[in-house]
Structure 1
Amino acid sequence: MALVDLPDIEFTEQDVLSIQSEVRTLFEGATGRTLNRADPEMLVLNALAKMILLQRVLIDQTAKAQLLRHARKTMLDYLGDFANTPRLAAAFATTTLQFTLTAPLASAQAIPVGTRVSPEGAEGEIYFATNSTIVIPAGQLIGTVSARCLQAGDIGNGFLPGVINTLIDPVPFVLSVSNLTESAAGADEEEDEPYRERIRLSNDSYSTAGPEDGYIYWAKTASAAIVDVAAVTPAPMEVTIIPLLENGELPTQEILDAVTSALSPRNRRPLTDKVTVQRPEIVAYDIAVTYYVHEDNIANLLSIQTAVEQAVGEYIIWQKSKLGRDINPSELVRRMINAGADRVEQTGLLPLYAEVTDLQVARETENTIITFGGLSK
């Protein structure tokens, strides 16, 4: 939702010279004396003026905190409570685990809910626990079940398939366990800016006529890990919802199910709407850049090279952190220049500009090449 362009607001006058003049005028009017700059009383009056200034700053900040645009932290929570929009709690990373038995058994084997599995090399600091009890039928070897990290936040994200493989709670006849999907969807407590945006969208949550912002609002309530949502209608009475996770991660099946559940109540969408929740389509791009550092900065060459590589990494995150964000090589060049590069070679520069629709997200391939071309004069 676009912000209305409003002028900055100040609830109190905060010019210290003006305050000092007011205090001096008040004193001279009460005493009948005319003060000079060197009079001892001026020290006291100037100190009083500074205290008044600090009080006015506090009053101004307190008044601004009651406006959604300026509210932060606890005050933002109160505004969210007024709009019936609580801040989203931290989310737990999820994955799918596969348990393998030592041999087919004559009877079914149960693996209880809460069975803990740890990632390889985690040294007992991170655990995933099964969300439900699974029963591997007699004569079969394999069973799968969803699991979530026992610690909220992004600490449980990014474990590739096969890495979560250490069984903490022994289960009879279980030979091995491993994750089939990369763990994802963990997020810290909702930060102020996305929370502020959801509060702005909350007015549309009261409508059951199917407004775009209403669908986006309810979809974002499914998880604090969701940073962007697209709601489009490919055909009459059909709505497609595309969620995107923090740092451009694709939503897991658990997140898709959670969004579907958040949009399903009849008081949140029209009965006639067929709602489909799906992952965004990926628009892949390569990165190939050659940059030069000015010879005057040779003493800082290593730090500049590190900063340029970091800038490329930040561009990658920026590019995939929003649906429908066009692939923009100019943004990549700008970040590299700001990091200390003197120039970026345009010949052979990748990526090329490409448009991306609201149903798509741009993601880098593994073909990322960053070349230091040498010094420029």
Structure 2
Amino acid sequence: MAQQITLPDIQFTDYDVQKILSESLVSLQNKTGKVYEKADPDRILFLALMNEIIQLRVLIDREKKADLLKYATGIMLDYIGDLYGVVRLGANAATTQLRFTLSTQLSTASTIPGGTRVGLQNGDGTIYFTTNQTIIIPSGTLTGSVEATANVTGIAGNGFAVGQVNVLMDQLPFIANVSNTTITGGGAAVEGDDAFKERIRLAPESFSTAGPRDGYEYWAKSASSSIVDVGLSSPEPYEVIIVPLLEGGEIPGEELIQNVYDSVNDRTRRPLTDLVKVQAPVQVAYDINVKFYINRANEAESQTIEANIRQAIQDYILWQKSRLGRDINPTNLIGRMYAAGALRVEVTSPVFKDIGELEIPKETTPNIVYGGLVND
């Protein structure tokens, strides 16, 4: 990551309401030689005007902070990115590989037109995948594959299992069946402010073609707004391994890995001598076996507390896989459960385990047991 200098919060104007009103009223009384009682119309008018001035101070402070990367949001962040030639990434649609199978071998080539639509098994037709190009299945061959893209952007098209995209929506002759051979993925919403800020911080590293670590990270993240973390390693001289991780701890599919490879291998970005490889994170499985108890004094709220504890466990699972190389840490899990209202927690697993920089923890099916109410 690009080095970040820790700076204190900054405030460009003072807008402490009570302090300003008190000091301003004293100053007015000193200058006029008059004591203004609370019901005095002049005092009421003066304080009303001062409130308008305070609001202006607040506005000035907010707008001035928007000039700084730390505080900028929305359109102001886009303007800061423009200074570095960095544009906010737009929404992406999920992709997958579709395989079409003919009902019989033909003596002539069969054409699958670009734009052919394939829907979801038991779907309602609102989400479907469209072939990106025309493919030709040669004579004597039964199958052909092509990349397809969801008709909607964002995460709605992600996570459909192999074989789940299998309903041909456009009639084609001699097609026996069609299905996806990869899990759908890569869909993402418009890049959020936090991710955009991080890419702006990394942008100066992208100006070099000497192979800086942060430069590779910048170009990898620029491949898709769904990428939240990038791992890098150089196990051999001139060899670079890049591992992208998607939002929610999802593993990138073949299409997104290819997009990252294309992004980092542009000849204006990669040193001539570097051999760059892009691969998915290595998943390290771990178990969750926990039992928790709730204070009997909180019996009336026990159902809410139980729900909060179960949600805390799910939040831990998401936290654990939201960054590459994050060690499996049961202490974090226990802390979250106590914070959610548990009186006592018994954790059999996980146990602490080091995770490599290109690895990601992957939970098995959690075993969560509510032990009931106990006395403090």
Whether the TM-score (by the shorter chain) exceeds 0.5 is: yes
TM-score by length of 2: 0.96
State the one-letter code of the partner of 1:326: D
**In the TM superposition, what is the alpha-carbon distance from 1:300 to its structure 2 partner?**
2.0
Alignment match, 1:119: 120
**In the TM superposition, what is the alpha-carbon distance from 1:30 to its structure 2 partner?**
5.5
**In the TM superposition, what is the alpha-carbon distance from 1:247 to its structure 2 partner?**
0.7
The alignment status of 1:311 with 2:309, answered yes or no, reads: no
State the one-letter code of the partner of 1:358: E
Task: Spell out the pairing of 1:136-151 with structure 2 (5 A cutoff).
Answer: 136-151=137-152
Task: Spell out the pairing of 1:90-109 with structure 2 (5 A cutoff).
Answer: 90-109=91-110
Structure 1 counterpart SS, 2:288: strand
The alignment status of 1:65 with 2:63, answered yes or no, reads: no
**In the TM superposition, what is the alpha-carbon distance from 1:32 to its structure 2 partner?**
4.3
**In the TM superposition, what is the alpha-carbon distance from 1:270 to its structure 2 partner?**
1.3
How far does the alpha carbon of each residue in 1:34-85 deviate from its partner, in whole angstroms, 9 at most, with x for none? 4344433221122122211111111100011110000001111111111111
TM-aligned CA distance change 1:306 to 1:17, over 3 Å = closer
Alignment match, 1:79: 80
**In the TM superposition, what is the alpha-carbon distance from 1:294 to its structure 2 partner?**
1.1
**In the TM superposition, what is the alpha-carbon distance from 1:29 to its structure 2 partner?**
5.6
> How many Å separate the matches in 2 of 1:226 and 1:162?
25
Aligned residues: 374
Alignment match, 1:372: 370
Q: Is the 8 A contact 1:68 1:196 kept in 2?
A: yes
TM-score by length of 1: 0.95
> How many Å separate the matches in 1 of 2:268 and 2:140?
46
How far does the alpha carbon of each residue in 1:105-150 deviate from its partner, in whole angstroms, 9 at most, with x for none? 1211111111001112321111100112122222222222111101
> How many Å separate the matches in 2 of 1:214 and 1:234?
18
**In the TM superposition, what is the alpha-carbon distance from 1:341 to its structure 2 partner?**
1.7
Structure 1 counterpart SS, 2:287: strand
Q: Is the 8 A contact 1:20 1:45 kept in 2?
A: no
> How many Å separate the matches in 2 of 1:319 and 1:219?
22
- Which shifted more, 189-198 or 261-270? 261-270
**In the TM superposition, what is the alpha-carbon distance from 1:298 to its structure 2 partner?**
1.8
Alignment match, 1:264: 265
Structure 2 counterpart SS, 1:234: coil
Structure 1 counterpart SS, 2:230: strand
Gaps of 5+ in 2: none
Q: Is the 8 A contact 1:23 1:45 kept in 2?
A: no
> How many Å separate the matches in 1 of 2:147 and 2:305?
44
Structure 2 counterpart SS, 1:67: coil
State the one-letter code of the partner of 1:265: D
TM-aligned CA distance change 1:301 to 1:29, over 3 Å = closer
> How many Å separate the matches in 2 of 1:159 and 1:237?
37
> How many Å separate the matches in 1 of 2:20 and 2:363?
56
> How many Å separate the matches in 2 of 1:282 and 1:258?
21
> How many Å separate the matches in 2 of 1:301 and 1:135?
62
The alignment status of 1:354 with 2:339, answered yes or no, reads: no
Alignment match, 1:234: 235
